[in-house]
Amino acid sequence: MLNADTCLLTALQMAKADHLTVAFGISEIALMDNAGHGVAQAIADRWTPRAVLVLCGPGSNGGDGFVVARRLAALDWPVRIAALVPLEKMQGAAAHHAALWHDPIEAMSPDSLDSAELVVDAIFGAGLSRPLEGMAAAILQAAAQRKLTIVAVDIPSGVAGDTGADLGAAAAVLTVTCFRKKPGHLLYPGRGLCGEVLVTDIGTPAFVFEEIKPDVFENDPSLWIHHLPHRSADDNKYDAGHALVVGGYPATGAARMAARAAARAGTGLVTIAVPAVALPVYAAALTSIMVSPLSGKEDLTALLADARYSGFLIGPGAGIGVATRAQVQQMLATGRPTVLDADALTTFETEPATLFKAITGLCVLTPHEGEFARLFDIQGDKLTRARSAAKSSGAVIVLKGSDTVIAAPDGRAIINTNAPPTLATAGAGDVLSGIILGLLAQGMEPFLAAAAAVWLHGAAANAFGPKLMAEDLPDLLPAVFERLQSIP
């Protein structure tokens, strides 16, 4: 298992963690009290006392809400509770904490929002998988229309915890969840509805991971930093890998940016193989990147026969058609690490099975949503689709976007969260594929190389700030790598 601190738990896994914790000796009543206390403390840390309305649902989330109300009231906050169901319908620990509230309880209604300045959404938690309806939907819609400050317990009611699907949620400014985040906190549209996400400790023991065995994680350097390539004092340039990029013509910028990114990622040598007619264009624009002409299939065959090449990339600016398809198959036939992006993916739109059959070695596919749909007839949420695609193709999948998902054929997945909106610019994906290539060429394992590259890509963009162009990104990488050196 990767770093447990960054793992994400499904609603089912969280329920199992709670069950194991209760069996360990911490009661459900205590867990609920700890959860509500964490939410109340987070509110008190961020706001001065003001009129609070706590919306309590019928289950555990509602029980947490009663604790929040009691804790805030103890701090002299003016608190009211509006409940979705009568008290007698609550059960277990939720009923216990509801009984400790001695002030009036209102029946939930949009009118309950009158005079409220802050609303605590404790109606439903991460396990909800159906659209919000009835009074729960009405009061949250009314709260959103009034632009009231909303704090969500666990996850905004109406956000599916496992997928991030919006089932009718109202956006929160703060979401306080217990023990670990859920995928829905990171996947859009849920991520955009959660606001700040705070994880509070409720006493769950670490041994639960031995039973749960999570396989989905939030991207963080702790997952892969100790796997990054490092140079020794006696290394030569070939020890740091030799990356080969196949470039196209007349579109030349994409492959050039990818090659520069591979070099900035630390690869010892980078070569671009290009149509002979384009050689002057590439050569004039590149200095430390070597350029090799391709006059025919045999030229690429000769390059691939050189065992010193340790990683390949094709796709950026390659063109769509028979020639690119043949080059992809030549590269994959070597069994050496290969990154396929852009045109190298689209060119197999009519015969994806041919591509998947050719993947017998280490391979990373980097589709955006459009390219993904051309290759995979898979429905569902982003995490499910990426994992299913990785399994069926035999490649690591980097399903790009503001919530990029990196998935391995064995079921592991990582969700990225550091990509700024400025990465939505032409060529940014080409740079990403180059960074992945650079790490692969130096011997890094594909799943972690892809995750590291996605994070580095986001960190570089964040360092630059507004008005980013893709060509800015490669030269920002050294400073990002330098900052990583300070992480123990």
Cut 0.85: pTM above it: yes
DSSP secondary-structure letter at 313?
Answer: E
Residue whose C-alpha is closest to residue 54's, from 18, 83, 81, 84: 81
**Residue owning tokens 């596919």:** 365
CA angle 326, 329, 332 (to 5 degrees): 155
pLDDT of residue 239: 83
Strand order in 105-107's β-sheet?
105-107, 79-83, 52-56, 118-122, 149-153, 174-178, 196-200
Distance from C-alpha of 416 to C-alpha of 434, rounded to nearest angstrom: 18
What average pLDDT does this structure show over 105-124?
A: 97
Would you place residue 1 in the very low, low, confident or very high pLDDT band (cuts 50, 70, 90)?
low
Tell me the average pLDDT across 86-91: 93
**How do the domains of the chain map onto residue ranges?**
4-214, 221-484
Q: Work out the number of other CB atoms within 10 angstroms of the CB of residue 238.
A: 11
Mean per-residue pLDDT for 408-419? 98
**Residue 293: predicted pLDDT:** 95
β-sheet bridge partners, residue 242:
269
Class in CATH terms, 221-484? alpha beta
Q: Does residue 157 carry a pLDDT above 70?
A: yes
- Mean pLDDT value across the chain: 96
What is the CATH T-level fold of the domain 4-214, as seen in this structure? Answer: Rossmann fold (3.40.50)
